Amino acid sequence: MFTVDVNLEQCSPGQVVAMDIVDDRGITLVGRDTVLNSYILSRLKELQVERIQIYADNEKVEWNKEKNRADIHGIYQESVLRLREVTHRLIKGTPVCSKDIESISEGIFLTAQEHEAIVKYLQMLRASDEYTFGHCINTAFYCMLISKWIGLDTTAIKLSIQAGMLHDLGKARIPDEVLNKKGRLTAEEFEVIKKHPELGYNLVRQVEALSSEVLDGVLHHHERMDCSGYPEKISADGLGITARIVAVADVYDAMTSDRVYKKGSTPFKAFRMFQTTGVGIFDPMVVSPFIHRLASYYTGCDILLSDQSRGSIVYVPPHDITSPIIQIGQDYVNLAERVDLEVIALL
């Protein structure tokens, strides 16, 4: 995709920002890959931004978007089917080699450039339950985005995809009544669930020639930087990068998905968690790039506010990603100024 340097006056809604727009103090105003709309254009004009970089050939970009959205759906559904098949073979003890795993991760990796489409697709999906392996594939996609956004090389990205898709296979060995219980888990039931990283590790170890980095990601995806995790309560020193990535991807998808026992939280609630209780627990070098890049992709989403009014997100301020600007009809609502309002759902 080509980028062009243009005057702000020549820009119109729908064009896509190619490089972070930064003010003269170095503060990011609009992140790369944000789709321009009239709100953002008028704010940039007020702030006297004169030239920006956008992706050229916009019709081509639009057409590609439609084409690739279809591809993501196809790849996603196929990945779920293949993962289910691989899991059944692992449980039966039928040989699985790393090529079987790689064929799935290679498929997912084909979508690696389609950040916005992936985020929007996963957001639309939202319902993921333990049976359909949806959560595993969601996590794999998020792992891919994270490892790209923290600058890992292609090999490492693919390994993180594999770790992401395999991380919860141990749940196939957890009894149904516990796994899909609608109410609160008892202490004993929780202890049973906590076995799934180890169970998963034992299943996945059977795969011939699977990278130890992936195995580590599966075993340690519930470990935390402050030794508060499980099963081994290891500290940050013992926690490899793949496990740190899976931890963040797993929790983000878990929080934002609907489950049998709860409705999914909004991305903003998840961002807030990472910025508060998540500090010291997850690696900030993983969290910070992830939530900042991710936040801008929710621009354009329709949402429901806590006063039941409906609007759409026109801008997610990079310095305050939990307080987006919402457009309702012709008005703009700045959630940073309205402590009484919050986004309660994405539509």
Partner 1 sequence: MKILVAEDDLVSRKFLVKYLSQYGDVDMVMDGFEALEAVILSFQEDMPYDLICLDIMMPKVDGVKALKAIRELETQRGMLPEKRSKVIMTTALAETQFVQQAFEIGCEAYAAKPIDIAKLTEVLRKLGLIK
Q: Does 336 bind partner 1 (CB under 8 A)?
A: no
The DSSP output letter for 299 is: T
Q: b/e per residue, 211-246, with b = 16+ CB within 10 A? A: bebbbbbbbbbbbbbeeebbeeebeeeebebbbbbb
Q: Does 337 bind partner 1 (CB under 8 A)?
A: no
Q: Does 27 bind partner 1 (CB under 8 A)?
A: no
The DSSP output letter for 185 is: P
The DSSP output letter for 172 is: G
Angle value at C-alpha 102, between 197 and 81, nearest 5 degrees: 75
Report yes or no: 34 and 19 within 8 Å, Cβ to Cβ.
no
Spatial CB neighbours of 319, under 8 Å, sequence gap ≥ 6 = 27, 28
The binder of partner 1 chosen from 263, 284, 302, 328 (CB under 8 A): 284
Q: Does 74 bind partner 1 (CB under 8 A)?
A: no
Query: Within 218-247, which residues bind partner 1 (CB under 8 A)?
Result: 225-226, 236
Q: Does 47 bind partner 1 (CB under 8 A)?
A: no
Instruction: Give the separation between CA 110 and CA 95, rounded to whole angstroms.
Output: 26
Q: Does 275 bind partner 1 (CB under 8 A)?
A: yes
Report yes or no: 201 and 231 within 8 Å, Cβ to Cβ.
no
Q: Which stretch binds partner 1 (CB under 8 A): 112-120, 134-142, 273-281, 304-312?
A: 273-281
- The continuous run of DSSP H or E covering 284 comes out as helix 284-296
Q: Which stretch binds partner 1 (CB under 8 A): 33-41, 90-98, 253-261, 267-275?
A: 267-275
Q: Does 202 bind partner 1 (CB under 8 A)?
A: no
Return the number of the residue (95 or 284) whose C-beta is nearest partner 1. Answer: 284
Report yes or no: 341 and 333 within 8 Å, Cβ to Cβ.
yes
Q: Does 24 bind partner 1 (CB under 8 A)?
A: no
Q: Does 123 bind partner 1 (CB under 8 A)?
A: no
Report in angstroms how near the CB of residue 185 gets to partner 1 at its nearest: 27
> Following DSSP, what letter does each residue of 215-276 receive, concatenated?
HHHHHTTT--TBS--SSS--BGGG--HHHHHHHHHHHHHHHHSBBTTBPPPPHHHHHHHHHT
Report in angstroms how near the CB of residue 317 gets to partner 1 at its nearest: 13
Return the number of the residue (161 or 286) whose C-beta is nearest partner 1. Answer: 286
Report in angstroms how near the CB of residue 119 gets to partner 1 at its nearest: 21
Residue of 119, 92, 87 lying closest to 104 (CA atoms): 87
The binder of partner 1 chosen from 279, 328, 336, 347 (CB under 8 A): 279
The binder of partner 1 chosen from 48, 176, 187, 276 (CB under 8 A): 276
Q: Which stretch binds partner 1 (CB under 8 A): 6-14, 112-120, 254-262, 284-292?
A: 284-292
Using CB under 8 A as the criterion, which residues of the chain lie in contact with partner 1 when the complex forms? 225-226, 236, 272, 274-276, 279-280, 284-285, 288
